[in-house]
Amino acid sequence: STNTDFALAVEDLTVSFDGFKAIDNLTLYIDRNELRVIIGPNGAGKTTLLDLICGKTRASSGSIKFKNQEITRIPEFKRVRLGLGRKFQTPSIYENLSVFKNLEVSYPEGRSVFGALAFQCTDAVKARVQEVASDIGLADRLEVEAGLLSHGQKQWLEIGMLLMQDPELLMLDEPIAGMSASERDLTADLLNRICRNRAVIVIEHDMEFVKRIAHKVTVMHQGRILAEGSMEKVQSDPKVIDVYLGH
């Protein structure tokens, strides 16, 4: 494809584990400012696809382009620098530090050892912390120790830590797992807000939640794309009903 507007272009991507194709010749394009949800039964390859995009797993063949730049063979840390952010299910926050500190140390210059030694919390960093804290709904919790936050707040804080790096593509694996109904509502608002400035890919099982957040849905099955389009379109696709939604 020659469309340069894609945040992400995955083409003919395959990864094999001992001959088993967990991702099988998959092609996927994500627009800038798009919120894409990936659904599909367990074992469909959803997590493996995100692992390939973020560089945790290396592709057997095919290509991954991020902002039109080939990233298929570059290491994970370089992809982070280019603007890829990935959140896993278990939050990796610093429980004994304040919300403010958690966000501050996630600012790019705060991360490397040498950077941290020379790191000054400038007004620019403070302003960024304030901005992200209000995005994640924790502006009035900045001095609270992160370990004392609710489960939902910890998840938002980790999203905030990723937002400190201003990623152009953010990938989230089941962001509402374990959340209360009101925390789910706030997470839907949060996701709708953050995709205004970046592309977001979410793996999700909860169909009510998918309906609320997805611009477009990709249904995976056996390492391939079974269907793609609006929630209405994929929901009424007989192939999708057969392998997934019908159960």
Instruction: Point out which residues bind ligand ADP (CB under 6 A).
Output: 17, 22, 40, 42-48
What's the min distance (Å) between Cβ of 206 and ligand ADP?
15
Which tokens sit at 159? 């999203």
- The 8-class DSSP code of residue 103 comes to H
> In the complex, what is the shortest distance from the CB of residue 15 to ligand ADP, in angstroms, rounded to a whole number?
8
**What is d(CA 136, CA 158) in angstroms, rounded to the nearest whole number?**
9
Q: How many Å separate Cα 178 from the centre of its chain?
A: 17
CB 103 within 8 A of CB 153: no
SS (HEC) of 141-164: HCCCEHHHCCHHHHHHHHHHHHHC
* Pick 44 or 200: Cβ nearer ligand ADP: 44
Of the two residues 47 and 155, which places its CB atom closer to ligand ADP in the complex? Answer: 47
20 or 114: whose CB is closer to ligand ADP?
A: 20
The answer to whether 201 touches 50, Cβ cutoff 8 Å, is: yes
Interior/surface letters 121-144, b for 16+ CB within 10 angstroms, e for the rest: eeeebeebbeebbebbbbeebbee
Chain Cα centroid distance, residue 242 = 28
- Give 172's strand partners: 87, 202
Q: Which is nearer to ligand ADP, 110 or 223 (CB)?
A: 223
Q: How far is the CB of 40 from ligand ADP (least distance, A)?
A: 6
Nearest residue (CB) to ligand ADP, 48 versus 153: 48
Least separation in angstroms between residue 42's CB and ligand ADP is: 4
CB of 17 to ligand ADP, least distance (A): 3
Task: Considering the complex, state which of residue 53 and residue 125 has its C-beta at the smaller distance from ligand ADP.
Answer: 53
CB of 99 to ligand ADP, least distance (A): 30
